[in-house]
Amino acid sequence: MAGCSGSGGSGGSSDGKIVMGFAQVGAESGWRTANTKSVQESAKSAGVELKFSDAQQKQENQIKAIRSYIQQKVDVIAFSPVVESGWDTVLNEARNAKIPVILTDRAVDSQDKSLYKTFLGSDFVEEGKKAGQWLVDQYKDGTDQVNIVQLEGTTGSAPANDRKEGFEQVVSADPRFKVIASQTGDFTRAKGKEVMEAFLKANPKIDVLYAHNDDMALGAIEAIEGAGKVPGKDIKIISVDAVHDGMQALADGKISFIVECSPLLGPQLMDLAKKVVKGEQVPDRVVTEETTFTQEQAKDALPGRKY
Ligand code: GZL
C-alpha cells in the first residue's frame, strides 16, 4: 500500500497490498516449519504480499534480510530474533526509515521498547514453570534425589534463557531436584542426540531429561534407546512445543509430559501488521494461548492436530 499513513514504507506493492518483510530464524525444527507455514498461509489469506527469508539460525543473515527489507521500503517488518541481543543498530535503521517492526515468537533484550511496535509470542518463563511443576507433582511423595539433565535451546535465545529460568525457579525450591548436566542442543534432533549420548556416558544415574523442544527430545530418545534404556520409564522426559512427532512419542509413552508452544502465529501477525501500517494502536505484548499434554491427552488430541 504505497504511501499509507503510519509507515514510511512507500515501496508498497503496486496493487495496494501491504508488503511485509519477514526474517525467519531458519528451519531447525518441526515447530519452525509449522510457524513458517502459518505465516505464509496467513499472508496469502490476508492479502499481504510477503517477502520471506530463512537465516539458517545465523543472526548476521537476519540482520542482512532486515536491511534488504529497509532498502526495498516494505510497509512493515516482522521477525523472530534468533538470539536476544545485538538488534539495536538495525532496529534503529528501520525506525529511521519509518518502517514499523513487529517481533514474533522470540524477544530482544533492547531497553528501548520504541524500536518495535509489539511482541507476539509465548511466555517462555511460564512454559518452563509448567514443566517444573509437573515434575514436582510427579515426585511429591518421593524422598530420593532426582538427577535431571537439561537440553537447552539455542544459546542466547529467549526460549532457551526463559525456559531454563522458569524450570529451575520451580525445581530449585526442593533440594531433592538436582540439575546434574545442562547443555545446548540448538533445538535440533541431531544435536539433541549427540549431547544426550554424552550425558549418558558421563552420568550413570539420570532420572529425568528436560528438553527445551520436541526435536531435541526425539534425538535424545534415540540416544537413550541406543544405550539400552527405556525412554519414559528409565528416564522420564519433559519437552516443549507439542509438534506432531513429539505428541506421537508422548502418546507412545516415550515422552512423559509436553508443554505446548503454539507456532500458529500467522493470523494474529497479519491482523497486527494491518493495524500497525494504518498507524492504529496495538498492545505492546500479545501472549499466545497454549496448554500442556499428558500421555492420555496426547492420544485424544493427536487426530485433530494441525501440525
Ligand atoms: C519457541 C521457538 C522455538 C521452539 C523450537 O517459540 O522459538 O524455536 O520451541 C524452535 O522448536 O526451534
8 A C-beta contact, residue 207 and residue 236 = yes
Q: What is the pLDDT of residue 11?
A: 54
Q: How confident is the model at residue 1 (pLDDT cuts 50, 70, 90)?
A: very low
Asked if residue 199 has its Cβ within 6 Å of ligand 1, the reply is no
Mean pLDDT within 204-211: 98
Q: Is the pLDDT of residue 5 over 80?
A: no
Residue located nearest, by CA, to atom 6 of ligand 1: 105
Judged against a pLDDT cut of 50, whether residue 58 lies above it is answered with: yes
pLDDT value for 6: 40
What is the Å distance from ligand 1's center to 213 Cα?
Answer: 7
Cα–Cα distance, 109 to 277 (Å, whole number): 24
Give me the pLDDT at residue 213, please. 98
Tens-place pLDDT, residues 110-140: 999 999 999 999 999 999 999 999 999 999 9
Give the span between the Cα atoms of 24 and 54, in whole angstroms: 5
d(CA 96, ligand 1 centre) in Å: 30
> ipTM exceeding 0.95?
yes
Q: Is the CB of 119 under 6 A from ligand 1?
A: no
C-alpha 29/C-alpha 215 separation (Å) is 6
CA max distance for the chain: 68
Say yes or no: CB of residue 290 within 6 Å of ligand 1. no
Distances (CA, A) of 208 to 137, 182, 199, 205: 14, 12, 12, 9
- Is the minimum distance from the CB of 32 to ligand 1 under 6 angstroms? yes
Q: Ligand 1 centroid to 278 CA: how many Å? A: 30
Check if 122 has its Cβ closer than 6 Å to any atom of ligand 1.
yes
Average pLDDT over residues 53-69: 98
Choice from 186, 187, 188, 307 to test ligand 1 binding pocket (greatest atom count within 8 A of CB): 187
Report percent pLDDT > 90 for the chain: 93
Grid cell digits, residue 70: 529497509
Over residues 144-166, the pLDDT tens digits come to: 999 999 999 999 999 999 999 99
Res 300 pLDDT > 70: yes
Tell me what pLDDT residue 35 has: 98
If you write DSSP's letter for every residue of 100-147 in order, what string do you get? -EEEESS----S-GGGSSEEEE--HHHHHHHHHHHHHHHTTT--S-EE
Cα 213 to its chain centre, rounded Å, is 8
Q: Give the residue with greater pLDDT, 306 vs 259.
A: 259
241 lines ligand 1 (CB under 6 A): yes
Distance 32 CA to ligand 1 centre (A): 6
Q: Quick one: DSSP state of residue 288?
A: P
93: helix, strand or coil: helix
Q: How confident is the model at residue 2 (pLDDT cuts 50, 70, 90)?
A: very low
DSSP state string for 165-225: HHHHHHHTTSTTEEEEEEEE-TT-HHHHHHHHHHHHHH-S---EEEESSHHHHHHHHHHHH
d(CA 248, CA 61): 34
Q: Are 148 and 207 in contact (CB under 8 A)?
A: yes
Residue 118, ligand 1, Cβ within 6 A: no
